[in-house]
Amino acid sequence: MATSAPLGSQDTGIVHVVGARPNFVKAAPVVSALRGRGAHQSVVHTGQHYDDRMSAVFFRDLNLPTPDVDLGVGSGTHAAQTASLMVGLEREFLARRPGMVVVYGDVNSTVAAALVAAKLQIPVAHVEAGLRSFDDTMPEEINRRVTDQLSDLCFATSPEAIGHLAAEGVGPERVHLVGNPMIDTLLGNLDRFDSEALRARLDLPERYVATTLHRPANVDDADNAIRLTERLHEIADLIDVVMPVHPRGRDAFARAGLGDHPRVRLLEPLGYLDFVALTRGAAAVVTDSGGVQEETTVLGVPCLTLRPNTERPVTITHGTNQLVTETDLVQTVTKVLHGHTPERLGDGVPPLWDGRAGERIASVLTQWSR
């Protein structure tokens, strides 16, 4: 944590660090709200995600400014990727001398930026702080804990995050419950998600299950991919399955023959507007994505999360989300298709998921940097 601005530096404003698909969706409303306040800001893209469909399409869809720089870090093992991220970001921060670095979510770009900034005594703000799965087999859990420890400002999307941060010694003066910027983006684009137009354009069936999977636990192991392919084929015996395939699982699912079923439709990763249109028009979604659990909660689309845990429990208590295993997946899809979905326990969507999170974050950031 920084206690003061870096010695001898010139504060050149706020630097947002983004690198992977979900970062772009979360940063868009924060960048926009700060722009509205005339803040001096720039966007550093690390290049962790680089395919047009994993990166540039989001800048087009969300009207995000073209990044001021793309570090082009690319893929690698955790150590190799994190090391390259740190080297590139250190060079960039030394050149830009930001007054504040804002990081998003829980990807390797997030923790790398927080580490570099903290060591340069640059204050760090973490958007989506305090989420915990308590599952250290997920690399994201480690990224979350480390980033929160290093952050001067922890922006929480849901109330339970405050307790998690307190339990790890993060003082309440650092924590702000602001709501969910990913939901700002969703609500701000509601009239642009045209499920019918997408169906016509991609020649999709009227009724389908949409699926997206990319967690290492689901897609890295060949045997696992084969078992999941068998389950998805069983679902396809009941209803068409449409899957934009994350590059991480592409080879494993291809080898497992996922596309061989006549009612499985495999697609390239979709841009944001198309993907949410696909989600909105789906009878149910099968996923292991963090963001998709949140989006389905607000859209009211049944979400079956193929994971043993979630760092986003409000999507279960207040939303449409349920955790499923490979063993009970097909049975649960069948129930959902027959209209059996769990009651929402909460009173509507989670608190402050109201489209104003970006404004709240911008307000704290501008007050803090005065």
- Active-site residues, by number, are 214
Nearest partner of 129 among 113, 109, 153, judged by Cα:
153
The structure tokens listed for 208 are 């389908």
DSSP, collapsed to helix, strand or coil, labels residue 168 as: coil
* Residue 202 Cβ vs ligand UDP, minimum distance, rounded to whole Å: 12
Query: Which CB sits closer to ligand UD1, 138 or 236?
Result: 138
For residue 136, what are the contacts with CB-CB under 8 A and spacing of at least 6?
142
Q: For residue 204, how many C-alpha atoms fall within 13 Å in the half-sphere facing its CB?
A: 29
Binder of ligand UD1 out of 10, 35, 37, 51 (CB under 6 A): 51
Is 195 in contact with 280 (CB distance < 8 Å)? yes
Decide if residue 21 touches ligand UDP (CB under 6 A): yes
For residue 363, what are the contacts with CB-CB under 8 A and spacing of at least 6?
none
* Residue 183 Cβ vs ligand UDP, minimum distance, rounded to whole Å: 10
How many Å apart are CA 68 and CA 287, to the nearest integer?
33
Binder of ligand UD1 out of 32, 48, 218, 310 (CB under 6 A): 48
Decide if residue 139 touches ligand UD1 (CB under 6 A): yes
Query: Which CB sits closer to ligand UD1, 196 or 220?
Result: 220
370 CB burial (10 A radius; 0-12, 13-18, 19+): exposed
Q: Which does 272 bind (CB under 5 to 8 A by kind): ligand UD1, ligand UDP, none?
A: ligand UDP
Distance of CA 107 to the CA centre of its chain: 9
* Residue 173 Cβ vs ligand UDP, minimum distance, rounded to whole Å: 28
Distance of CA 243 to the CA centre of its chain: 18
Query: Which CB sits closer to ligand UD1, 74 or 346?
Result: 74
For residue 301, what are the contacts with CB-CB under 8 A and spacing of at least 6?
279, 280, 282, 284, 285, 320
Decide if residue 25 touches ligand UDP (CB under 6 A): yes
Query: Which CB sits closer to ligand UD1, 56 or 330?
Result: 56
Decide if residue 261 touches ligand UD1 (CB under 6 A): no
How many Å apart are CA 370 and CA 368, to the nearest integer?
6
Binder of ligand UDP out of 275, 310, 311, 358 (CB under 6 A): 275
How many Å apart are CA 344 and CA 298, to the nearest integer?
12
Q: Which does 359 bind (CB under 5 to 8 A by kind): ligand UDP, ligand UD1, none?
A: none
Q: Which residues, numbered 143-202, are part of the site for ligand UD1 (CB under 6 A)?
A: none
Q: What binding mask, one character per residue, do residues 52-91 give for ligand UD1 by CB under 6 A, x or -?
A: --x--------------------x-----x----------
Decide if residue 22 touches ligand UD1 (CB under 6 A): yes
Largest CA distance in the chain: 66
Decide if residue 181 touches ligand UDP (CB under 6 A): no
* Residue 17 Cβ vs ligand UD1, minimum distance, rounded to whole Å: 13
H or E element: which one contains 112? helix 108-119
CA 324, 329, 332: angle at the middle one, nearest 5? 90
Binding range to ligand UDP, per CB under 6 A, among 8-16, 32-40, 195-203, 283-291: 283-291
Q: Which residues, numbered 100-129, are part of the site for ligand UD1 (CB under 6 A)?
A: 106-108
Binder of ligand UDP out of 125, 292, 303, 357 (CB under 6 A): 292
